[in-house]
Amino acid sequence: MVNAQRIVRQLKSRWILTAAAFIVAVLSASAFLSGEATSFLSGIVFGIHLVLILIIPVFPKISCTGIAAVYAVTSVVPFDFSFSQLWGVLLALVVLGYFCSNTFSLTVTLLVVVSKFVDSLLSNGNHVDLSEVIIFGTLFLLCWLCGVTIKSQEIIRKNRDTSHLLEQAQRKNAQLQANDALAVKLHDSVAGNLSYIVLATQEENPTIHDAALSTLNEIREIVGVLSKDDNTDPVKTSLAQLSLEEQTSQAIDFEENRMRILGFKGEVSTSLEYSHVNDANEKMIIQLIHEIYANIARHCNPQDSSYAISIRIERTQAILREINPLSSEQTLPHFHKSGMGLSLHRRAIVQAGGEMNYSAQMDTWVLFAKIPLSEPL
């Protein structure tokens, strides 16, 4: 049943070849039946020839090679088979040119041409009819060339379609990377600052607190849309005028001041060496520092939590570590935890060839990130 279904699928997918094989089989059978009385051996050979034609759509390589082989054998054997194999041979050469390698199909074609030469030699009493050999030889080569041409056009079309799909995938990937960069920027700058506004106003000014919290949640939804797929153009930011070490120090000082205002306590250790990095990795490091502090402020309680951050910038990599106890009571009880910020950062870091892991272990939050840097000039 499975083989029958496979044959039916092949016949449908190769309907042009199926129709051609059927027409050639009908023409060959008509020529055979309308000819003179044939011998039993001729009938057997014709039967083999006809079966090979009919199975071309299912087994094109084997059947067409068999048709050429039968023609070659019957041409060199000094026996009159009293029927023409021309239609079957022409179709076989076209099919071989399409389905087989050029070397193999050309070899078979030349074998058929040589067989025609031998047949002419035997049929004319050791004299060759050159005009007949040239005509049929040219016809055989044209049929082979026709199959090769069709195959070449198919290859060109498939390569063109593949190139088009590859270009589309590259454009899509570039757009997704731009969306990720925009989502990270929006999350870190807008959402991070709104988080601090929410924290600073939750007791003193409930109105501002509620408005900021609502806006913060809306920003998180927008970030979620951008991180999946969108047609937003990439946001281009100017290169920082400060060195990476200066930017890192400023980011740490800025965040530490805000954490002290909010009542958090923690320790930061840094080891900064000169490194030459591109703008993308430079921003990646600074943005991750801001996101680490923002996560501590959003998800920890300053009353019973402390944190430890380690930042080491070496010649070829930047390594960031952060650890803090998990608080039983969240600072913002109405704040929705999406985990989107860290996942966006991890995606960008992995695409840059680095690694980033974070998890909760034994009531402790642990984060580790390694970002590759260029060699110093």
Residues 42-66: b if buried by 16+ CB within 10 A, e if exposed: beebbeebbebbebbbbebeebbbb
Confidence grade of residue 139 (pLDDT, cut at 50, 70, 90): very high
Side-by-side strand order, sheet with 306-313: 265-272, 306-313, 317-325, 364-372, 355-361
Query: What's the confidence (pLDDT) of residue 338?
Result: 47
Mean pLDDT of all residues belonging to the chain: 78
Q: Is the pLDDT of residue 287 over 70?
A: yes
pLDDT in tens, 158-180: 888 888 888 887 887 777 777 66
Q: Is the pLDDT of residue 339 over 90?
A: no
pLDDT in tens, 97-126: 998 898 999 999 999 999 888 888 877 777
Entry pTM: 0.46
The CATH number of the structural domain formed by 171-372 is 3.30.565.10
- To 5 degrees, how large is the angle CA 275–CA 281–CA 282? 60
Confidence grade of residue 2 (pLDDT, cut at 50, 70, 90): very low
What does residue 28 show for φ and ψ, rounded to 5 degrees?
-65, -40
- Largest Cα span, the chain: 118
Confidence grade of residue 236 (pLDDT, cut at 50, 70, 90): very low
pLDDT in tens, 46-74: 889 899 999 888 888 999 999 999 988 88
Q: What are the extents of the domains in the chain? A: 2-128, 171-372
What DSSP string runs through 53-77?
Answer: HHTTTTSHHHHHHHHHHHHHHHHHS
